[in-house]
Amino acid sequence: MKKNITLTEKYPPSEPCGCDICKSYCIRPGWWTVDQAETAIKDGYGPRMMLELAPEMNFAVLSPAFKGCEQGFALQEFSSFGCNFLKDGMCEIHSKDFLPLECAYCHHTRKGLGMKCHADLEQDWKTLKGQLLVKQWIEKYLKK
């Protein structure tokens, strides 16, 4: 029988790197797995998330917020402000177990593989568990 591997096993963390390419991944927040987002919420980081809606409006994802989008929708006009966890060029959650999978995996040595990781994360969020977490976050954190 074939073992189902988790996304964190399929996309292991890259080696830490401070080059301009790798640091550029810190500007656009990467996506968590559903389990990572759930852990981040339990650890008190729910207010620092934003809600990203698919262009087709058929699912949503919780991600680290752009600065200014905390507890709201991901808005393009805030995208240039970067991730709210980026402080003085350093990631506040880099050493946490819930560093977004996309942030941990993307690296200049993995050119072109980020799109596959992103597509798999999209499928993770399209699950009942993913959309239930989104619903719970909306009810508790989304600014009305």
Q: What is the pLDDT of residues 3-60, one digit of tens each?
A: 788 999 999 988 877 788 777 777 888 999 999 999 999 999 999 999 999 989 999 9
Q: What is the pLDDT of residues 67-91, one digit of tens each?
A: 999 999 999 999 999 999 998 888 8
Structural domain boundaries in the chain: 16-141
Residue 46: closest CA among 12, 90, 84: 84
What pLDDT sits at residue 137? 98
How far is the C-alpha of 109 from the C-alpha of 124, rounded, in Å?
Answer: 25
What pLDDT sits at residue 72? 97
Please provide the DSSP assignment of 56-121 as one string.
Answer: TSS-EEEEEPBTT-TTEE--GGGGGG-BTTEETTEETTTTSTTS-HHHHH--GGGTTTHHHHHHHH
Q: What is the pLDDT of residues 85-113, one digit of tens each?
A: 998 888 899 888 899 999 888 777 888 88
What pLDDT sits at residue 101? 92
